[in-house]
Amino acid sequence: MPQRTWLGPLTFIILLDDLNLPCAVHKFVDDTTITEILSARQTPSVVDDNVHYLVNWSRSNKMLTNYSKTKEMILGNAKSNPPPTLLIEGKKIERVSSFKLL
């Protein structure tokens, strides 16, 4: 797909139209961000399940996951007692304190 044309973003939007996750999904051009909000009652995180669903969905739709650009960020009280490191297909995902969300 030629870069800097209207065809790339349009194709991405069409391809991502059937992506349905039980969490907030933010789609922009060729990036997808998922978020999970946990209540104060210490609801168990299901981010692992959502990430694995996203990776499997991407694979079945002939899209690749760029693990070097995949990041995890934790906000709020969970920072004091963070969950285990996120692993996708045996690859450790970098946990960051900030990132740019387009």
Q: Which residue has the tokens 């104060």?
A: 40
Give me the pLDDT at residue 94, please.
Answer: 92
Q: How high is the pLDDT of residue 40?
A: 66
Written as one string, the DSSP assignment of 38-93 is: --TTTPPP-HHHHHHHHHHHHHHTT----TTT-EEE--GGGGTSPPPPPEETTEEP
For the stretch 70-99, pLDDT in tens is 898 888 776 677 778 888 888 899 999 898
Query: pTM here?
Result: 0.73
CB atoms within 10 A of CB 51: 21
Number of residues that make up the chain: 102
pLDDT for the residue 34: 86
**Mind listing the pLDDT tens digit for each residue in 7-52?**
777 777 777 777 888 888 887 767 888 888 877 666 778 888 999 9
